[in-house]
Chains A and B, each alone.
Chain A
């Protein structure tokens, strides 16, 4: 079974600075998807960024980028130019690439609570 570990329960960053959230995972599969979800205080969880394991290039979405290290099974999220609206719980999640059986399941980490200080 796959597991996802987020070793930082809480992080803080000054507005306009950069912060990196860590995520490691364990899997025996070679193809899979990785996701970062954001859950603001209003509670609606939204997808921030995703990475297909077969792609070597790190995904980027505006101020959000990932550092995907497949061999190390590491998937960190970098937030540049942090804004007050970035304050939220961030979840790392894993999903198998293949659609059969129970592979549609998302396996989540416990989350990292990010505080942005003005």
Chain B
């Protein structure tokens, strides 16, 4: 596998379920990101990790819980979601924040539907 991978690609869950999204990067990067992409809205940054430390929580509801066990893996744990949480969830990675361009590379996303 190369680049940034995400599993599952599609997920349907009820409001009382608990599920997790997984992201893995094979680029040797140290920073990882979760974005939410809803129709007709700009991408919303949710969480950022740099060297496994969370550096950003963009006022995300607690029903979304991120986990970054190492620089290559990022999870988004979901519980008691609402229908308005249905969206495409994108993971991205970049080298780090030490300076320079540190371009972000994106995964294919997980299409989440909350019923």
Contacts and interface: CB of A to CB of B under 8 A. Distances in A.
B107 to A, nearest CB: 7
A8 to B, nearest CB: 13
Contacts of B88: 43
B34 interface: no
Contacts of B90: 45
A43 B109 CA distance: 7
Interface of A: 4, 9, 33, 37, 42-47, 50, 91, 99, 102, 104-111
Interface in B49-99: 56, 88, 90, 94, 97-99
B27 interface: no
Most-contacted residue by chain A among B42, B100, B105 (CB, 10 A): B42
22 contacts: A9-B40, A42-B108, A43-B111, A44-B106, A44-B107, A44-B109, A45-B90, A45-B106, A47-B103, A47-B105, A50-B103, A99-B99, A99-B100, A102-B56, A104-B48, A104-B94, A104-B97, A104-B102, A105-B56, A108-B43, A110-B42, A111-B42
Contacts of A91: 42-43
Looking at chain A's contact residues, is the secondary structure mostly helix, strand, loop, or mixed? loop
B108 A43 contact: yes
A44 B97 contact: no
B35 to A, nearest CB: 9
B67 to A, nearest CB: 20
A42 B56 CA distance: 28
B108 A44 contact: yes
